[in-house]
Structures are given as C-alpha cells and as structure tokens.
Amino acid sequence: MDAYFSALMGLAGVAIGGLTSFATAWMTHRSQVRERQREIEVAKREKLFSDFIAEATRLYGDAISHQKDDVSDLVLLYALVAQMRLISSRPVVDAAEFAMVRIVETYLSPNRSLSEIRNLAQSGEMNFLLDFGEACRAELAASAASSARKLHGERPRENARHPVPSPSSAHRDENRFRLAGS
C-alpha cells in the first residue's frame, strides 16, 4: 500500500509541477502580449502626433506667405484632429484645435514679408505648436507611468480621457479659441 501511496504522491507532484510551469508560461506570455499592445498603441499615438505636427507646420508656413479663403488644404489637418479625438486626452485635442485656429487666422491675415517672418521667429510667436507638444509629451508620459504601474501590480488610476463635449460646449470652446487668437 505504501508503494501505491508513494507512486500517487509522485504523480501528484509531477501534475502540480506541470500546472505551475504552464501557469507561469501563460502569465508571462499574457504580460508580453499586453506590453506589445501598449507599445503599438504608443507608436500609433506618436505617429498621429508627428503627422499632425508635420502637416500643421507645412500649412503654417504656407499661411504666412499666402492669403486665401480655400479650406481644401486644411482637410488633412482636420482629419488628424478627428483621429486624436478618438484616442487622445482632452488637453491634446484642445491644443490641436488651438493650433488649427492659429493656422486659419494666419491664412486670413495679410501676407508677411521676410523681415516680418524673422521678427515673428525671434519673438517666439511662430512657435504655435508649443502647447500641443507639451500636451502630447504629458499624455505619453502618463501612458508610460500607467503601464509601469500595471507591470508592478498597482491599481491603475482613472482614465485620462475626458468625456466628449456636448455640441453646446463645443461651440463655446470654438468661440474661446477665436477670442484667444485675437
């Protein structure tokens, strides 16, 4: 009887060891998949932010030297902001919308001479993407901090995203941007 008991205990030990090994491998794989998904999400945000900066800069440069009422050049910029509304925090979207307002106002203003452009650059007025860059940096840092907390088993804080504004508040924000740029 002792031989059966010893054999049964040996089999139980092998089963427990196998289950432990399987659980460890599964948890490691699950953690790696989560980290890879987070990396993909961060890369997607960085690409979106980079595309916005490139397009906004191109349009601002064009707006300084061309006065026009045609909005067709702004379509891609509006599309990028719409994508940001889906995945970015409210401060990033607000800063992007403010940058768009600055570009539109620049298109509507008279053309600038080369000396006026130099004066704008020296005064820092051409750095219209500063707030956008800061908001993006803060969002990416918050995302990294959240990921680190999850890896260390801490409870995540509330989501940084804010609810989508109602049409009346969006209109109010639009007026605020118009007034801020004046």
Residues 140-173: pLDDT tens digits?
A: 998 877 766 666 666 555 544 444 444 444 444 4
Within a domain: 40 = no
CA dist 94 and 122 (Å) reads 26
Within a domain: 149 = yes
Within a domain: 27 = no
5-26 residue pLDDT tens: 888 888 888 889 888 988 898 8
* Helices and strands (H and E) in the chain: how many: 6, 0
User: CB under 8 Å to 145, separation ≥6 — which residues?
Assistant: none
Place of tokens 């993006």: 136
CA dist 50 and 76 (Å) reads 13
Within a domain: 32 = no
CA dist 100 and 119 (Å) reads 22
Q: Is 60's pLDDT higher than 80?
A: yes
Within a domain: 60 = yes
Band the pLDDT of 175: cuts 50, 70, 90: very low
Q: Is 120's pLDDT higher than 70?
A: yes
In the structure encoding, which two tokens stand for residue 121, read together? 């650059």
CA dist 115 and 4 (Å) reads 96
The rounded Cα 37 to chain-centroid distance in angstroms is 15
In the structure encoding, which two tokens stand for residue 140, read together? 């990416």
114-136 mean pLDDT: 85
DSSP 3-state of 162: coil
Within a domain: 166 = yes
Within a domain: 159 = yes
CA dist 12 and 6 (Å) reads 10
Listed residue (23, 8, 83, 72) closest to 47, CA to CA = 83
Whether 53 and 134 have beta carbons less than 8 Å apart is answered as: no
The backbone torsions φ and ψ at residue 164, rounded to the nearest 5 degrees and listed phi first, read -70, 130
37-54 residue pLDDT tens: 888 988 999 999 999 999
One-letter amino acid at 95 equals A
- The more confident residue out of 161 and 131 is 131
Provide the number of structural domains found in the chain.
Answer: 1
Band the pLDDT of 2: cuts 50, 70, 90: confident
In the structure encoding, which two tokens stand for residue 136, read together? 């993006």
CA dist 61 and 117 (Å) reads 10
64-101 residue pLDDT tens: 887 777 778 889 999 999 999 999 999 999 999 999 99
Domain of residue 86: give its range: 48-181
Within a domain: 160 = yes
